[in-house]
Amino acid sequence: MLTLTRGLLATALLALLLAGCAYQPGIVERVTDDDPASLLEQAQQQEPDQAARTRLDAADILARQGERTQALEIARNIDDARLAGDQRARWALLLADLGESEGNPEAVIRATQDLDGLELNRGQALALREQRGLALLEVDEPLAAAEALLAVQAESDDEALNDPIWRALGGLDGRRLTRLGEQGDALTRGWVELSETVRSGGGDIERLFQRLDDWRSRNQRHPAARRLPADLLALRELSGQEVQHIAVLLPDSGPLSRIAEAVAEGIRTQHRLSNDANVRLSFIDGSSGSLEALYREAENRGAQVVIGPLDKDRVSELERRDRVPLPTLALNYGRGGSNHAEGLFQYGLSAEDEAAQAAQRAWRDGHRRAALLVPDNDWGRRVGEAFWDEWRAQGGEVTKAVRYNPGAAATESTRRAIAEARPDALFMLALPDYARQVPPTLDYYGAGDLPVYATSHLFNGQLNPRLDGDLDDVLFLDIPWQIPDAAVGGEDALPFSASYRALREEADPNLFRLNAMGVDAFELARRLPQFQLVSGSEVFGATGTLRPGPDGRIQRQLPWARFVNGVPQPVLIPGIFGDEQSP
């Protein structure tokens, strides 16, 4: 959880501690001997407005006594519409403070939903707005986070906000970043120009810092010119270590050769169109020879980093080692619980990752009881378990897990998923032909309003409104290159758009995701030294926003879409921006 900068935090907490003196009756004046349990009992007998004030008193006392988890639960359940004036401001300050300290960004977002309607002094308003920005950053809403944090910095000129602002800007695609600059003030335009300067720098660190020096000379009074974000400062250590030679270990034959060729085509295309003539590629047949022999060949050719292997068994073998001979971006995930090898990064298009993100999204949307509908095979078992594990970790209940026959009609399996204990959300793993049968079946059984969350597999990337109209209102996540309008607002705003156009025109649609994976593999490989040095580094890529996890496994954050009239459309987190389309 990101924390409030020290000055604003002190101001907000001081205001909160002294708040009781301004209220009649005030907390400081009368609560020292009050029992929170007694107050909560009293609230049950009171009229709604008085009950809300009494529960606020109880939450405040519990927070002061160190019972912050219980205080948070009580404060979250207060109907703030029943609080007037300064009492509602007091509730917002308390809930935001508790939400931040207890790692609950949703509580902070709720507390700060209507800042303009609260009776706050300047320090309190700035503190709450900063807390809101940090909370939005935690729930992966970088645009709203950036807007909130930039508003605080415009008022306070606080350089301590530089790092979270930089992180928020890093989560924006090119179009949203440009639009933010066009609509913003001089401070915002400076930040946008800085972000665009770094993004266009590629892997050449020396050239990047020459451009940064130019930016600083033009923006000498900007907070980021006075103190660059920590991630940029750390990059100075990489000067002279830019990746100029990459060895690609992919099989020329065998069961993975077709997949390997699609990935290789993406690598070659991005290399050709990246406008960086200093990077050299060496393709080595990864289907023959031991890993030791393959690494020796890569070293003999002068490679600095390696892309590959693709085979899961070989990746599993690497992750059990203490280290790898060269920094390596494996194109699969090993079978171990974690990666132990120093210098090894793992990247792939994992359906399990998508399932976990679907569980997080459904929970964030307010659902608590989910049913699962997955195919009766090993793929369905693995993906279903990934959703199940993440859902239970969030605190959710699984009402039913149905494993269906992919060759049969969806009618009976869908009925079983919603029978008995009715869920409030359905997770579906299915290919297009099967997925299109599920919503009409839900309608038939009177569950047409049940929110459905799905992985990318229900959409093949080709617009087909006539058939996909049956999927209307289904939410799914996919790589930006497959849903450009929903993800970034159009093809022109896509990351690596030149490669997108070249590959979309020539590629087999069934292999297009693998082409995109190759594009990102090339860009990730160029940044492996940066990933090893700078924690929190990320790439806004063709296959999502890519960040190395603590063990080197690349985590993909994917955009969400909803079918509307058979066409994928963007969707937001409900309750944050008044998104009427959200469930």
- Can you give the pLDDT at residue 203? 61
Instruction: Work out the average pLDDT over 211-222.
Output: 92
- Can you give the pLDDT at residue 31? 39
Q: Is the confidence at residue 276, as pLDDT, over 80?
A: no
Residue 126, Cβ neighbours under 10 Å: how many? 23
Give the type of residue at 219: N
- The model's confidence at residue 583, banded by pLDDT at 50, 70 and 90, is very low
Instruction: Work out the average pLDDT over 499-522.
Output: 92
What confidence tens digit (pLDDT) does each residue in 183-211 have?
889 999 999 999 888 876 656 677 778 88
CA distance 540 to 219: 26
What confidence tens digit (pLDDT) does each residue in 429-482 have?
999 999 999 999 999 999 999 999 999 999 999 999 999 999 999 999 999 999
Which CATH architecture is the domain 352-491+560-570 placed in?
3-Layer(aba) Sandwich (3.40)
Provide the CATH topology of domain 36-237. 1.25.40
The DSSP symbol for 553 reads B
- Can you give the pLDDT at residue 538? 78
8 A C-beta contact, residue 224 and residue 191: yes
- The model's confidence at residue 534, banded by pLDDT at 50, 70 and 90, is low
Residue with tokens 């406008």: 275
- Can you give the pLDDT at residue 2? 58
- Can you give the pLDDT at residue 388? 97
Rounded to the nearest integer, the mean pLDDT of the chain is 88
Q: Where in the chain is the domain with CATH 3.40.50.2300?
A: 245-348+506-546, 352-491+560-570
The DSSP symbol for 172 reads S
What confidence tens digit (pLDDT) does each residue in 67-122 have?
999 999 999 999 999 998 889 999 999 999 999 999 999 999 999 998 888 889 99
Give the type of residue at 349: L
8 A C-beta contact, residue 243 and residue 525: yes
- Can you give the pLDDT at residue 79? 92
Q: Where in the chain is the domain with CATH 1.25.40?
A: 36-237
Instruction: Work out the average pLDDT over 562-581.
Output: 69
Q: Is the confidence at residue 579, as pLDDT, over 70?
A: no
- Can you give the pLDDT at residue 200? 67
What confidence tens digit (pLDDT) does each residue in 33-65 have?
478 999 999 999 999 999 999 999 999 999 999
Own/partner pairs, 190-194, CB within 8 angstroms, 24+ separation? 190/219, 190/222, 190/224, 190/225, 191/146, 191/150, 191/165, 191/222, 191/224, 193/219, 194/219, 194/222, 194/224
CA distance 221 to 404: 62
Structure tokens of 294? Answer: 């393959």
Lowest mean pLDDT among 224-233, 376-385, 397-406, 441-450: 224-233
Q: Give the phi and the psi of residue 567 in degrees, each rounded to 5.
A: -125, 135
- The model's confidence at residue 574, banded by pLDDT at 50, 70 and 90, is very low
What confidence tens digit (pLDDT) does each residue in 140-189 have?
888 999 999 999 999 999 999 999 999 999 888 777 888 899 988 999 99
- Can you give the pLDDT at residue 14? 46
- The model's confidence at residue 4, banded by pLDDT at 50, 70 and 90, is low
- The model's confidence at residue 575, banded by pLDDT at 50, 70 and 90, is very low
Instruction: Work out the average pLDDT over 225-237.
Output: 85
Instruction: Work out the average pLDDT over 514-527.
Output: 95
Between β-strands 323-330 and 305-307, what pairing exists: parallel, antiparallel or unpaired? parallel
- The model's confidence at residue 488, banded by pLDDT at 50, 70 and 90, is confident
Lowest mean pLDDT among 90-99, 249-258, 303-312, 524-533: 524-533
- Can you give the pLDDT at residue 28? 35
Q: Is the confidence at residue 8, as pLDDT, over 60?
A: no
245-348+506-546 has CATH 3.40.50.2300 classification? yes
- Can you give the pLDDT at residue 21? 40
Helix residue ranges, H only, 139-281: 142-156, 162-170, 174-183, 186-199, 205-218, 223-226, 230-235, 257-273
CA distance 576 to 147: 13
Instruction: Work out the average pLDDT over 9-34.
Output: 43
Structure tokens of 3? Answer: 């924390």
Instruction: Work out the average pLDDT over 382-400.
Output: 96
- Can you give the pLDDT at residue 536? 62
- Can you give the pLDDT at residue 289? 86
